[in-house]
Amino acid sequence: MTAYLDHSATTPLRPEALEAMLDVLTERFGNPSGVHGVARAARAAVDEAREVMAECLGAKPGEIVFTSGGTESDNLAVLGVQARRGGRVVCCGAEHNAVLESVRAAGGKVVATSAAGTIDLDALADALDGDVTVVSVMLANNEVGAITDLDAVAELVRDRAPDAVLHTDAVQAFQWLDVAERARPAQMIAVSAHKFGGPKGAGVLVAREGVPLAPILHGGGHERGRRSGTHNVAAIVGMAAAAAATVKTRDDTVARVRGMRDRLADGLIAAIPDTVETIPRSAKVAGSCHVRFEGVESEALLMLLDEAGVCASAGSACASGAIEPSHVLTAMGLTRPQARASLRLSLGWASTDDDIDVALKVLPDAVSRLRDG
Ligand code: PLP
């Protein structure tokens, strides 16, 4: 049996999404920009999906911009507003690269991260002034799962950079949190379908009315001129079906997954000496189990886990031939050895008790082998 504990990387497709997509792929295959009946049927599918996404995200249908996923939504938010308004863009050092690299490309400022994995509010306050046009702060972190209090961020932005647009990357939040409520203070919100049981290659940027947004993709002027390109109708429809299923079952999923996550984390701590949880469970999303086994290289551990059928992810990545510790963990103040010993086990809507049983059986042995080795 494979224990899939990498839902933060991607999730299996929800059956509701598959069913909705098959209908579009086989029957409603038209180009929604056309005028004839087949095109209009596809257009209706996109319109319905827009309404669903708007409802799920606490936005108006006209504020939904369909994109190719989280990366594009983040790029559009940061670069699209800066292209219109100029000025400086600011983000937190724990952001996903989709935001971080957009901010760097725009010559912006990256501010410090707290030890808890969220933006350092004092550092943010120092970075804000009347020249800042975009502030990008994620709602939930993709590595450690830390949840940011966006109300506190929004208050600072209102005080110090009142003309700035607040963008939140909610890609890792939507499956766990009521984004419609939590992201209310943000003028832009990014989500990605494949993190909540939808297909890869579909996402949304919410750009609230009045947000000045220049397109980064030029062409036929789709999405009211905000994002050109023929709609990926099947993916959009699959995303909406997955989003609706996520919202409908979210409270139950959170309770069920939190129980499994706690059993996993408690079991690891009990069975493996020197296991450290990166941040307190109360400060993060329900599916996140982020730990380190002191002295163990997680890259080597991942290989043993893979052999034993456990899919996880490490606190470091191979960049240009060398293993580099994660920028999130180093921004939080972990040492390189601590970052390199970190392991991300992420649960999701499809997780089962069997996954946890397998992980609890395999991990203690694998860590012992590396420590003894
Ligand atoms: N933002 C966050 C927080 C993510 O975790 C990811 C993907 O891992 C992205 C953005 C990028 O999303 P996509 O894979 O849809 O491009």
Position 25: which residue type? L
Distances (CA, A) of 57 to 181, 187, 206: 8, 12, 8
- Contact of 14 with 245, CB cutoff 8 Å: yes
Determine which residue's CA is closest to atom 14 belonging to ligand 1: 70
pLDDT tens string, the chain, 373 residues long: the values are 899 999 999 999 999 999 999 999 999 999 999 999 999 999 999 999 999 999 999 999 999 999 999 999 999 999 999 999 999 999 999 999 999 999 999 999 999 999 999 999 999 999 999 999 999 999 999 999 999 999 999 999 999 999 999 999 999 999 999 999 999 999 999 999 999 999 999 999 999 999 999 999 999 999 999 999 999 999 999 999 999 999 999 999 999 999 999 999 999 999 999 999 999 999 999 999 999 999 999 999 999 999 999 999 986 555 555 678 899 999 999 999 999 999 999 999 999 999 999 999 999 999 999 999 7
Position 203: which residue type? G
Cα-to-centroid distance, 71 and ligand 1 (Å)? 6
- Contact of 308 with 196, CB cutoff 8 Å: no
| CA separation for the pair 350, 5 (Å, rounded) | 10
Cα-to-centroid distance, 295 and ligand 1 (Å)? 29
Determine which residue's CA is closest to atom 10 belonging to ligand 1: 70
Cα-to-centroid distance, 313 and ligand 1 (Å)? 15
Distances (CA, A) of 64 to 16, 326, 330: 21, 32, 35
Cα-to-centroid distance, 2 and ligand 1 (Å)? 24
Q: Which atom of ligand 1 is nearest to the CA of 95?
A: 3
> Which of 195, 236, 284, 288 has the most ligand 1 atoms within 8 A of CB, as the residue to mutate?
195
> Which of 72, 144, 168, 192 has the most ligand 1 atoms within 8 A of CB, as the residue to mutate?
192
Closest-CA residue to 142 (of 124, 169, 179, 115): 169
With a Cβ cut-off of 6 Å, ligand 1 is lined by: 69-71, 74, 96, 98, 138, 142, 169, 171-172, 192, 203
Beta carbons within 10 angstroms of residue 218's beta carbon? 11
